[in-house]
Amino acid sequence: MATVSLSVSTVKPLADRVFVKISPQEEKTAGGILLPDTAKEKPQVGEIVAVGPGKRNDDGSRTEPEVKVGDKVLYSKYAGTDIKLGNEDYVLLSEKDILAVVN
């Protein structure tokens, strides 16, 4: 069996998929209470590190993605596939699961 070494530079999303690095979330509440891992919600904000070529239309042309590498985005809570590379957490999403670009 062949072994494949994955890194961010080797992952290239297909079609309208985007590869997002999950932003670390707060470990304290506003009142200063430390949250255990079991009480934390799944993050919904991240930075795009790779973008696919776009969705293919019926006539064979591609629709350009609305987001680009480096954009900070807000995405659906339970969307995509979680991936861990090294110590970093990523999610592979379809572009339709992105709700907004955050400035």
What string of DSSP letters covers 18-49? EEEEEPPPPSB-TT-PBPPGGGPPPP-EEEEE
Q: The domain spanning residue 65 has which CATH number?
A: 2.30.33.40
On whether residue 32 sits in a domain, the answer given is no
Q: What is the pTM of this model?
A: 0.80
Which pLDDT tens digit goes with each residue over 28-43?
A: 677 777 777 676 677 7
- Number of domains present in the structure of the chain: 1
Record the tokens describing residue 29, joined without a space: 């509440």
Whether residue 34 is contained in a domain is answered as: no
Mean pLDDT of 78-95: 90
In a domain, 71, yes or no: yes
- Across the beta sheet with 45-51, what order do the strands follow? 81-85, 88-94, 17-22, 45-51, 72-75, 98-102
Overall average pLDDT of the 77-90 stretch: 89
Q: Which residues constitute the domain of residue 95? A: 17-23+42-102
